[in-house]
């Protein structure tokens, strides 16, 4: 897991680190995960509203982006860190995943910026 990516995730308003499964670090906002960081050399992110949207990124980076196990059908992808996805685009994907999760929170629970 990249400490830089973890720090980037945790710098988001209301973000906090959790380890719901042993050795599997995640970044959450309120009680919802927006980044899976415990998967070795990859990060799990919400990359679309559904599988079709998330597959757009898979088509661009077929060797470094795959549908996440179990939750891929909901638009989650596993993105290889240090692969073909440029670091600035990876940060944009983290931002988009965070924004998508925050948007689904009740307004009363959304973090204030």
Q: How many CB atoms lie within 10 A of CB 102?
A: 20
Structural domain tally of the chain? 1
Length of the chain, in residues: 113
| Residues spanned by the domain of 66 | 3-109
Q: Which of the four pLDDT bands, split at 50, 70 and 90, describes residue 7?
A: very high
CATH of residue 81's domain is 3.90.1150.30
Give 46-86 pLDDT, tens digit per residue. 999 999 999 999 999 999 999 999 999 999 999 999 999 99
What are residue 44's phi and psi, to 5 degrees?
-95, 125
């Amino acid at each position: 897991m990249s400490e830089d990516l973890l720090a980037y995730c945790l710098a988001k308003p209301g973000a906090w680190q959790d380890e719901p499964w042993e050795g599997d670090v995640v970044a959450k906002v309120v009680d919802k995960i927006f980044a899976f960081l415990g998967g070795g050399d990859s990060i799990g992110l919400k990359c679309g509203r559904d599988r079709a949207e998330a597959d757009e990124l898979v088509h661009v980076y077929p060797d470094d982006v795959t549908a996440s196990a179990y939750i891929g059908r909901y638009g989650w992808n596993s993105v290889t860190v240090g692969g073909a996805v440029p670091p600035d685009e990876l940060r944009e994907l983290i931002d988009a995943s965070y924004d998508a999760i925050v948007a689904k929170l009740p307004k009363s629970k959304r973090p204030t910026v």
